[in-house]
Amino acid sequence: PLEIFLSDYTPPAYLVDTVELVFKLHPTATRVISKIAFRPNPEAMDRTFYLHGEQLKLIWAKIDGKDAQAKVTDLGLTAQAPDAPFIFEAEVEISPQTNTALEGLYMSNGMYCTQCEAEGFRKITYYPDRPDVMGVFTVTIEGDEKVKLSNGNDLGGGKWHDPWPKPAYLFALVAGDLVNHPDTFTTMSGKEVELNIWVRKGDLNKCAFGMDALKRSMKWDEEVYGREYDLDLFNIVAVDDFNMGAMENKGLNIFNSSAVLASPETSTDANFERIEAIIAHEYFHNWTGNRITCRDWFQLCLKEGLTVYRDSQFTADERSPAVKRIEDVIALRARQFREDNGPLAHPVRPESFVEINNFYTATVYEKGAEVIGMLKTLIGDEDYYKGCDLYFTRHDGQACTIEDWLACFEEVTGRDLTQFKLWYSQAGTPRVGVKEAWKDGTYTLTFTQHTPPTPGQDTKDPKVIPIAVGLLNDAGEEVHATRICEVTDEVHAFRFTGLDAKPVPSINRGFSAPIILEQDQDNATRAFLLANDTDPFNKWEAGRALARDVMIRMVTEDATPDQAYLDALLAVARDDTLDPAFKALVFSTPSADDIAQALFDGGVTPDPTKIYHVTQTLRQSVAHAMQDTLPRIYAEMQVDGPFSPDAEAAGKRAWGNVALSLLTRLDGGAQARAQFESADNMTQQLSALGALLRAEVGEDASKAFYEQWKDDRLVIDKWFSMQVTYAKLAAAPATAKALTNHPDFDMTNPNRFRAVFGALAGNTAGFHSPDGSGYALLADWLIKLDAKNPQTAARMSTAFETWKRYDADRQGMMREALERMKAAPNLSGDLLEMVTRILN
């Protein structure tokens, strides 16, 4: 496998003006006839005519009407081409039916669909499959399918034309027996856009929410970024077999059905929120990704970091900014910090890769979004939107780099962003220490920064870190409004003057920088901030720090649950001014994986079994401490009337279900059973099922759940995953293994595979069960899956990325599992790259 370097970029030899494609659909012998107008690129350094192509059967190829005398390898085609504009034509044969990798043209439940990002178009026909080659596509689809869709505008009779030049990765085709949920949207300049969500017949009742989310996204992008939609038609299609959430193909977004189909009976509040965010994300790509795309795949964060940032702004505006920020930071720590602290750490803009699909990571996406957020904090809202406007006008229709993006902000602010750019090139999570000093009315905070080594990067330069700081007095009043401390040096002090008394600092408010803050703070101060901080994020963060400390002392000192923590929780529960969704987040305890990393950072080898027991003991103590309050909370949080997925109702359900889960530890499941039986929506039903399963009294409910939902594949995914998620300790691998024998288990469907094995990887104590059965089982199945679907197998191998944290026995067993995968015959380049990097 070939390693590709950012520094080796060269412009394409030929550019494309127009592409005409004819598809003669057939499950095992689809013919693709292409006619491509090429012209020499004046900026190219050589004239080699090379087209990518994989798993294609070439029937014929012509240049300007004559046999091209093409030379074909497993990876592409070369031919002698003129040093002037010319027409290349070819016919190839492909087999969508047997394409289980779900990349290129494939079939899902009898329906044709495509996934081309990053490099799937080369499995459809010969083409310069790189994002800096953009062409105008006209597509004709021939076949008996009732519905035939491609990008752009519908010319009728299966013919489509997309007027916007685009890279091949944004090409899409769908054909099948589909029905649509239609609507319209009038843009800010008064143009009417036809909207459709295309689904299989039985799913038509699950489209309304997604459509509403789409219209809200279109409006939001007009209002906040001034971006209008640019075609007469916008189509979304739901497919069951899909490697990720969704794909932003121009005018024809293709979605994993789990990321678009929603109904109160079958979707949880978390599902609704995720669907809304993904619909917004894919829609927002129309400007950040499609109109302006990436020069090469190293620039992936240019579109992904920015688009994640934009969708998080949207969710914050539509729902609660505080809750969204807390949720994002929980996810960032769980996935991105974990990645940054292990063998897979890489910069937001990687400098080399073997398989680009392995770099659609939390670092590129979520840390990439944090970098945009920091940029906005540093330069202020006004200049941020000015810079974006400049980017949109200057680069419309181009394939760009991070340098192009940053230059727009340098220009509008006059500020040198050289040091800021280190956020794109240096991997690893900065550790920021802070010390305080108080003298003569002046309060000084001295920050120190240090980023640990990561693979290929032993030393790091200091970055510019925007740390939002506010100060409180001991009555809990704000005595210094939030100020951004721009830490630029290894040691950097900031003074606050004119204070009457030594204040209590609230540092990194709103999580203004994605760092690990190393602060000597006692639990009394944490409890004080949890009660008083005016910054909602740091209020929550103080509670989280308290919980983490309590758990760590329970693990390392066999301490009993700290009364100060229990009292603080009780105060939060009783505070009627707080949003129920916020209370639910304060009550969530750090995950086992969080605690394992925190222990490891503190020089202690984590024992997942012990962490499991500590978590249970702590939750049990919380339940006891809250005994008298829980029934009242539970009763007050019942939402009457017809179901609504809005943030307020969802927040009440979330807080009510925290109460339910604690109550279940006291009442043996009576209340949970009652809720399970009377629930009229999935949030209530699934929360009750979870509480029962965790209490090990959920067997009947689980059977009933299966019987009720056996015809709904998305709900049955939940059923598979719940059993593994709530299996106790070593029962998790055994449960996962048994589920693979269930008639509804289908390894070729990524959602179903993830339901079982994603849940196993997420069950920390179960995955790390001391007999090694979790490791062995996952390795077995990743090897099996790799033969069919390398992308999903490679992605799920990250379950092993934390192996160096653990004791010698566990390390040995994980290494063995990794080595076994590495040695498996015919392993894909995708999985091979991942296990090799993890082992190093």
Sort strands 104-108 and 66-67 into parallel, antiparallel or unpaired: unpaired
Residue carrying the six token digits 């070729």: 748
Q: How far is the CB of 285 from ligand B3K (least distance, A)?
A: 6
Q: Give the separation between CA 265 and CA 409, rounded to whole angstroms.
A: 47
Q: Which is nearer to ligand B3K, 357 or 685 (by Cβ)?
A: 357
Question: Near ligand B3K by CB under 6 A, which window of 94-102, 246-254, 455-463, 720-728?
Answer: 246-254
830 binds ligand B3K (CB under 6 A): no
Beta strands in 74-133 (DSSP E): 76-78, 86-94, 104-108, 111-115
Sort strands 57-63 and 252-256 into parallel, antiparallel or unpaired: unpaired
DSSP classification of residue 365: I
Q: Is 752 helix (H, G, I), strand (E, B) or coil?
A: helix
Q: How far is the CB of 366 from Zn ion (least distance, A)?
A: 11
Show the binding pattern over residues 300-339: x = contacts Zn ion (CB under 5 A), - = does not: ----x--x--------------------------------
Distance, first Cα to last Cα, the chain: 17
* Chosen from Zn ion, ligand B3K, none, partner binding at 117 (C-beta under 5 to 8 Å by type): ligand B3K
User: What kind and span of H or E run contains 580?
Assistant: helix 580-587
253 binds ligand B3K (CB under 6 A): no
247 binds ligand B3K (CB under 6 A): yes
Q: Give the separation between CA 103 and CA 115, rounded to whole angstroms.
A: 5
Q: Give the separation between CA 605 and CA 602, rounded to whole angstroms.
A: 9
Q: Residue 448 has which token pair?
A: 């120190």
Secondary structure (DSSP) of 792-818: HHHHHGGGGTTGGGS-HHHHHHHHHHH
Residues 268-327 close enough to bind ligand B3K by CB under 6 A: 281-282, 285, 304
Q: How many residues bind ligand B3K (CB under 6 A)?
A: 12
Q: Which is nearer to ligand B3K, 244 or 662 (by Cβ)?
A: 244
Single out the residue of 19, 51, 244, 348 in contact with ligand B3K (rule: CB under 6 A).
244
Q: Which is nearer to ligand B3K, 359 or 676 (by Cβ)?
A: 359
Residue type, 211: M
Q: How many residues bind Zn ion (CB under 5 A)?
A: 2
Q: Which is nearer to ligand B3K, 247 or 783 (by Cβ)?
A: 247
Single out the residue of 61, 118, 732, 796 in contact with ligand B3K (rule: CB under 6 A).
118
Q: How far is the CB of 281 from Zn ion (least distance, A)?
A: 6
Is the dihedral angle over the CA atoms 9, 11, 13, 18 positive or is it negative?
positive
122 binds ligand B3K (CB under 6 A): no
**Interacting residues of 475 by C-beta distance below 8 A, sequence separation 6+:** none
User: What kind and span of H or E run contains 293?
Assistant: strand 293-294
Q: Which is nearer to ligand B3K, 145 or 273 (by Cβ)?
A: 273
CA atoms within 13 A on the CB side of 671: 20
* Chosen from Zn ion, ligand B3K, none, partner binding at 754 (C-beta under 5 to 8 Å by type): none
Single out the residue of 360, 528, 726, 800 in contact with ligand B3K (rule: CB under 6 A).
360
Sort strands 71-72 and 30-40 into parallel, antiparallel or unpaired: unpaired
Is the dihedral angle over the CA atoms 162, 166, 168, 170 positive or is it negative?
negative
Q: Which is nearer to ligand B3K, 282 or 593 (by Cβ)?
A: 282
Q: How far is the CB of 306 from Zn ion (least distance, A)?
A: 9
Q: Give the separation between CA 504 and CA 509, rounded to whole angstroms.
A: 13
Q: Is 282 annotated as catalytic?
A: yes
Q: Which is nearer to Zn ion, 346 or 652 (by Cβ)?
A: 346
Q: Residue 514 has which token pair?
A: 């994605």
From the candidates 276, 282, 355, 833, which is the catalytic residue?
282
Question: Near ligand B3K by CB under 6 A, which window of 239-247, 342-350, 525-533, 665-673?
Answer: 239-247
Residues labelled as active-site residues:
282
**Contact residues for Zn ion, defined by CB under 5 A:** 304, 307
**Contact residues for ligand B3K, defined by CB under 6 A:** 117-118, 244, 246-248, 281-282, 285, 304, 357, 360
